Amino acid sequence: MPRSAFNVAWHASLPVLFGYLILGLGYGLYMHNLGFAWWYPPLMAATIYGGSVEFVIATMLTQHFNPLTVLLITFVVGFRQFFYAVSMLNRYDSGDWRQWLRIYGLSDETFAVNYTLHVPTGVNRQTVYTWVTVLDYGYWISGALFGGCLGQALALQIPGLEFVMTALFIVLCLDQWQRESDHLSTLSGLVLTALTLWLVGKTYFLLVTLLLLVLEYSWLDWRRRQS
Amino acid sequence: MILWQRLATIGLAAMANFLTRVLPFWLFKRPGSQTPPFIQGLGDFLPGAIMAMLVIYCLRDVNWTGPSHGLPELAAAFITAGVHLKWHQTFLSLLLGTGSYMLFINWPF
């Protein structure tokens, strides 16, 4: 029996369910501790929908109103998503209105899951991508809502559970590794990210890594055209 | 900040964040025209590197010079990878990887 698109998406998104509930909960608690009402975390989760951006904006909300800085910081912190979109240009290939959902919901996890996803024949790829996006979106808002509502009641935490997200990316990275014909890109990512983290620190290393990767690709492309 | 300023801040952040995701589609995927070959090639080259980048991103807060020298994280990462290479069952890999990490950091030694 052919599996439905929702079924494929549900199974693919399950690891994200656990990861997002735990991370979203942590994010909700974080905002609760900054003194925000319960509805802030889910509101920001639903509108901004980008974990790292939301954490930064949460602290900015406690300072003076500065629209320009908000725009710039969000753009810098979220800029890696520009490259997720570049990589998804071929995969998100449908002009209908759901394309907006897929682009709006292109988070780290949704990108990684949808990019590596194996869609069985006979199942509509675009529908699976859309469902993964919508499910992930729902998980993140739910986590933020729980965290924001339960606040201190949930001070009890289980240390180490957050490693599930790291494990998920390791798994998706290995899936990618076993599928690619040469490993230059993955190895470059590994070495460059480690190096830039060490050299430029936590704030800008992703941005610098991505710029270096674009440079590396430009050089490879130039050399290929020379020969 | 008063309420409307907070809501404006959230709205602006939402806009800017969406912009980072939608810009490539606006710039390089116009109806009736081809995606430039350079951008297409870049889109094929980057994902491998990005997956590796996200793994390191998750490990960015590990204190390599601290008392545990990042050993619990490293060990759990290798267990996750090993389990996944052996059985190719995402859930098993996540379960054993995360489980072993929780064990390592809560172990009294």
pLDDT at residue A101 tops 80: yes
The per-residue pLDDT for B6 is 96
CB pairs under 8 A between A and B: 243
Nearest chain B residue to A88 by CA distance is B43
d(CA A164, CA B101): 9
How far apart, in whole angstroms, are the C-alpha atoms of residue A209 and residue A190?
10
Q: What confidence score (pLDDT) does residue B30 get?
A: 79
Angle between helices A205-226 and A80-88 (to 10 degrees): 40
A117 contacts: CB under 8 Å, gap ≥ 6: A8, A12, A128, A129, A132
**Angstroms from A139 CA to nearest CA on chain B:** 18
Residue in the block written with tokens 């394309």:
A99
Residue A19 vs residue B85, higher pLDDT: B85
For the segment A88-99, the average pLDDT, to the nearest whole number, is 91
- Residue found under tokens 């969000």: A74
The average pLDDT across A181-197 equals 96
The answer to whether the Cβ–Cβ distance between B60 and A197 falls below 8 Å is yes
Average predicted confidence (pLDDT) for chain B: 92
Tokens of A164: 């599930």
- Check residue A39 and give its pLDDT: 94
- C-alpha B52/C-alpha B74 separation (Å) is 15
Specify whether the CB–CB gap between A176 and B53 falls below 8 A.
Answer: no
Which residue bears the tokens 């230059």?
A184
ipTM of the complex: 0.91
Tokens of B96: 């054993």
- pLDDT computed for residue B99 by the predictor: 93
Whether A49 and B21 have beta carbons less than 8 Å apart is answered as no
CB A31 within 8 A of CB A132: no
Yes or no: say if A44 and A145 are a contact pair by the CB < 8 Å rule.
Answer: no
Q: What is the pLDDT of residue A33?
A: 82
Interface of B with A in 48-77 (CB under 8 A): 48-61, 73, 76-77
The token duo for A126 is 């675009």
- Mean pLDDT, rounded, for A180-196: 96
Q: What is the pLDDT of residues B48-83, one digit of tens each?
A: 999 999 999 999 999 899 888 999 999 999 999 999
Residues from chain A contacting residue B9 (CB–CB below 8 Å): 57, 60-61, 65, 67, 70
DSSP strand E in chain A: where?
none
Please tell me the predicted confidence (pLDDT) of residue A170.
96
Residue B108 scores a pLDDT above 80: no
Residues A70-84 have pLDDT tens digits of: 998 898 889 999 999
B-chain residue closest to A68, CA distance? B12
Residue of B nearest to A190 (CA): B52
Question: What's the token pair of residue A189?
Answer: 């990512």
Across the interface, of A15, A86, A99, the residue whose CB is closest to B43 is A86
- Supply A127's token pair: 């529908």
The stretch A3-18 carries a mean pLDDT of 93
d(CA A115, CA A112): 5
CA distance B101 to chain A (A): 6
Residue showing tokens 């990887």: B97
Comparing alpha-carbon positions, the chain B residue that sits nearest to A107 is B21
DSSP notation for B10-28: HHHHHHHHHHHHHHHHHHH
Residue A225 exposed, middle or buried by CB count within 10 Å (0-12, 13-18, 19+): exposed
Is the pLDDT reported for residue A41 higher than 90?
A: yes
